[in-house]
């Protein structure tokens, strides 16, 4: 009996031990993944710096669904956030690949993904990278839109067109590349320096940064750089590429690269404003050569001031002749206008030109037109400031840059309007009945004699209409919406036939002054007041000339068809890029240059090479 009891006790002990062993083996087998064929997954060792996680890509279509689910669970529970998207992409590609393949009896491929080292910071959040904003550089030269929603031409005028024509290659590009590489390296270095396992790489990176800092402290242009700078840049780019393979702290990189972006944006904005200012200064300042020409002519005039023109006085006021009026302070410009008109005139002996200028340029123009003759035409130079006791000051035709539309549909047009001086024509030429007014920035390509036979039907001003700009848009705020027909177009100066008899009957000069005074009481700027007053003064008094008489825009528009330029009777270079400036549009300047008298000695002395 005692022996049997002892035997039963031993049996119980063996059974308990068996149960204990089984209870330990079952979880172990489950963790090893033997129940579903997933091999090789083990718990991570706390002291191990790296851990390799093999994923077996199955090619058996029957097991594909189970495999995908298992991988998704693995990604969800065990993968650090920074690698989840990577693993999902790999799984998705594997799924698409296996579905399109015919099952083959071969050894399954194994793809290994290295988990990050334990000492790499895993603070990179998916939230910080879930949305990447697209940054686009604005090309103002092609009509880009800035942050205010205005296209370049609307904001900066003809500068954008000129900049597109005169685009240059970037200077000192190597210095700029070095600076960019240095900024990027500095952005990644703080994170690399925190990795104990990358001390050697951190030291290498720091050395490259210090080398570039030393080079840039001694060099500001490509010419100053040492001969081996290309190799240093390659080493730095290789270091940066390696640094990008490590997970980094987004905050440091974002802060550093944000500083680069802000500095670049500020620098670009500064240079843009500076370029626009210098451009405006260039187009509004008399070139050195033209200033020299005016001064030399003035000095020469007083050196031998005997110029007898009294014999021509009778023709200056003869209403039977064809009188052209030019307001100008530019010797070359006024000369081109007269020369081009006379060259194409069938009867040059009937032409009388009256050049109205100011005290400063009077003597230079006087001498120039005494020295240069234009077939049988007569040229009279008048000083506007000496015509009466009011000491009037000359003002040239006013040009306005009109911006129409909003956003990407916005466009810019240049509109030329009479100045204050134009409203003195009936007082200056009291014996004349009709005159043709030419701006100093025009070139005549055909005979203009037909203008003198036009029946204007009681209108005062025959002008080419500018239907890109409507009067209702320009004057809505000042005279109301119903004052003009919505289809009424603005008109342009440049080529104008003026009926002085009708002008005097309607006393349009006084009407103009009244509108100017009303605008001044409303605190309207002088130029805007002149625009409103001119358009209101000639309301319903404009006789529309056919568009073939004058073509405008050659001083601001690069896209005018050359065929249209050659056919136009008069070319109007309205805009900032006048043909006598270096900033003029080259393909249109040739039409202006052909009427320039290059044989005059003063042009050679002053190096006038327009």
Q: Is residue 22 part of a domain?
A: yes
Q: Which pLDDT score, from 0 to 100, does residue 326 have?
A: 97
Rounded to two decimals, what is the model's pTM?
A: 0.67
Same domain, 157 and 266: yes
Same domain, 104 and 157: no
Domain end residue (candidates: 114, 131, 164):
114
Same domain, 553 and 441: yes
Q: CA 311, CA 101: separation in Å to the nearest integer?
A: 105
Domain end residue (candidates: 114, 136, 168):
114
Residues of the chain with pLDDT under 70: 1-11, 13-14, 25-151, 305-311, 388-391, 405-409, 476-486, 521-527, 609-610
Q: Which pLDDT score, from 0 to 100, does residue 580 have?
A: 93
Q: Which pLDDT score, from 0 to 100, does residue 63 have?
A: 45
Q: Is residue 127 part of a domain?
A: no
Q: Which pLDDT score, from 0 to 100, does residue 98 have?
A: 46
| Residue the block writes with tokens 């500018």 | 466
Q: Which of 371, 375, 352, 351 is nearest to 363 (CA)?
A: 371
Helix (H) / strand (E) element for 492: namely: strand 489-499
Q: Are the C-beta atoms of residues 316 and 322 closer than 8 Å to each other? A: no
Q: Is residue 54 part of a domain?
A: yes
Between the two ends of the chain, the Cα-to-Cα distance in Å is 134
Q: Which of 351, 404, 393 is nearest to 373 (CA)?
A: 351
Q: Which of 491, 269, 510, 301 is nearest to 397 (CA)?
A: 491
Q: Are the C-beta atoms of residues 212 and 178 closer than 8 Å to each other? A: yes
Q: Which pLDDT score, from 0 to 100, does residue 114 have?
A: 39
Find residue 109's DSSP bridge partners. Answer: 57
Q: CA 301, CA 286: separation in Å to the nearest integer?
A: 21
Q: Which pLDDT score, from 0 to 100, does residue 150 have?
A: 65
Helix, strand or coil, per DSSP, at residue 413: strand
Q: What is the dihedral of CA 157, 160, 163, 167, to 10 degrees?
A: 180
Same domain, 105 and 235: no
Same domain, 102 and 148: no
Q: What CATH number has the domain bearing residue 578?
A: 3.90.550
Same domain, 204 and 90: no
Number of H helices, E strands in the chain: 22, 14
Q: Are the C-beta atoms of residues 555 and 573 closer than 8 Å to each other? A: yes
Q: Is residue 295 part of a domain?
A: no
- Give the structural domain span for 46: 18-114
Q: Cβ contacts of residue 237 below 8 Å, gap of 6+? A: 181
Q: Which pLDDT score, from 0 to 100, does residue 21 have?
A: 74
Same domain, 154 and 215: yes
Same domain, 279 and 314: no
Q: Is residue 478 part of a domain?
A: yes
Q: Is residue 366 part of a domain?
A: no
Same domain, 149 and 110: no
Same domain, 200 and 247: yes
Q: Is residue 586 part of a domain?
A: yes
Q: Which pLDDT score, from 0 to 100, does residue 479 have?
A: 52
Same domain, 414 and 555: yes
Same domain, 450 and 486: yes
The string over 316-330, giving b where at least 16 C-beta atoms fall within 10 Å of a residue's C-beta and e elsewhere, is beeeebbbbbbbbbb
Q: Cβ contacts of residue 448 below 8 Å, gap of 6+? A: 341, 344, 345, 436, 569, 570
Q: Which pLDDT score, from 0 to 100, does residue 388 have?
A: 65
Q: How big is the chain by its Cα radius of gyration, in Å?
A: 42
Q: Which pLDDT score, from 0 to 100, does residue 5 have?
A: 54
Q: Is residue 348 part of a domain?
A: no
> Domain tally for the chain?
3
Q: Cβ contacts of residue 252 below 8 Å, gap of 6+? A: 187, 190, 191
């Amino acid at each position: 009996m005692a022996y049997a009891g002892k035997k039963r006790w031993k049996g119980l002990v063996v059974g308990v031990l068996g149960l204990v062993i089984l209870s330990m083996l079952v979880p172990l087998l489950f963790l090893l993944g033997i129940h579903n064929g997933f091999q090789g997954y083990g718990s991570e060792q706390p002291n191990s710096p790296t851990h390799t996680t093999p994923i077996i890509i199955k090619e058996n279509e029957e097991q594909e669904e189970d495999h995908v689910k298992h991988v998704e669970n693995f990604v969800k529970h065990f993968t650090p956030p920074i690698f989840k998207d990577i693993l999902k992409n790999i799984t998705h590609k594997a799924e698409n690949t296996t579905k399109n393949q015919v099952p083959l009896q071969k050894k399954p491929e194994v793809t290994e993904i290295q988990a990050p080292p334990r000492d790499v910071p895993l603070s990179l959040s998916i939230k910080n990278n879930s949305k990447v904003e697209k940054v686009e550089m604005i090309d103002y030269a092609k009509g880009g839109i800035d942050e205010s929603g205005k296209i370049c031409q609307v904001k900066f005028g003809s500068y954008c067109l000129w900049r597109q024509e005169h685009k240059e290659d970037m200077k000192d590009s190597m210095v700029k590349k070095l600076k960019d590489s240095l900024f990027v390296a500095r952005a990644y270095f703080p994170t690399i320096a925190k990795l104990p396992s990358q001390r050697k790489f951190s030291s290498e990176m720091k050395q490259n940064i210090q080398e570039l800092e030393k080079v840039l402290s001694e060099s500001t242009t490509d010419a100053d750089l040492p001969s081996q700078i290309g190799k240093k840049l390659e080493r730095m780019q290789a270091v940066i590429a390696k640094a990008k393979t490590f997970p980094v702290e987004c905050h440091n990189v974002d802060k550093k690269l944000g500083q680069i972006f802000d500095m670049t944006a500020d620098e670009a904005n500064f240079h843009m404003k500076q370029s626009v200012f210098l451009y405006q200064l260039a187009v509004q300042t008399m070139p050195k050569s033209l200033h020299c020409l005016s001064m030399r002519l003035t000095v020469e005039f007083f050196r031998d001031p005997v110029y007898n023109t009294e014999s021509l006085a009778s023709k200056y006021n003869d209403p039977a002749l064809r009188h052209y009026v030019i307001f100008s302070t530019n010797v070359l410009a006024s000369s081109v206008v007269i020369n081009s008109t006379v060259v194409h005139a069938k009867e040059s002996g009937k032409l009388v030109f009256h050049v109205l200028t100011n005290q400063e340029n009077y003597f230079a123009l006087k001498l120039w037109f005494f020295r240069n003759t234009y077939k049988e035409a007569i040229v009279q130079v008048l000083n506007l400031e000496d015509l009466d006791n009011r000491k009037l000051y000359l003002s040239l035709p006013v040009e306005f840059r009109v911006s129409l539309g909003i956003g990407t549909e916005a466009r810019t047009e240049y509109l030329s309007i009479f100045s204050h001086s134009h409203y003195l024509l009936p007082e200056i030429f009291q014996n004349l009945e009709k005159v043709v007014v030419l701006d100093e920035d025009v070139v005549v390509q055909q005979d203009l004699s037909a203008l003198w036979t036009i029946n204007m039907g009681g209108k005062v001003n025959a002008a080419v209409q500018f239907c890109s700009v409507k009067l209702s848009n320009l004057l809505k705020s000042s005279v109301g919406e119903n004052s003009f027909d919505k289809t009424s177009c603005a008109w342009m100066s440049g080529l104008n036939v003026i009926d002085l008899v009708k002008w005097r009957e309607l006393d349009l000069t006084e009407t103009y002054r009244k509108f100017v005074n009303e605008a001044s009481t409303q605190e309207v700027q002088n130029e805007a007041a002149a625009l409103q007053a001119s358009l209101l003064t000639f309301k319903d008094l404009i006789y529309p000339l056919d568009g073939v008489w004058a073509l405008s825009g050659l001083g601001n528009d690069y896209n005018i068809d050359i065929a249209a330029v050659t056919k136009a009777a008069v070319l109007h270079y309205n805009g900032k890029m006048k043909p006598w400036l270096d900033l003029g549009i080259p393909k249109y300047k040739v039409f202006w240059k052909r009427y320039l008298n290059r044989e005059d000695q003063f042009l050679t002395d002053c190096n006038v090479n327009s």
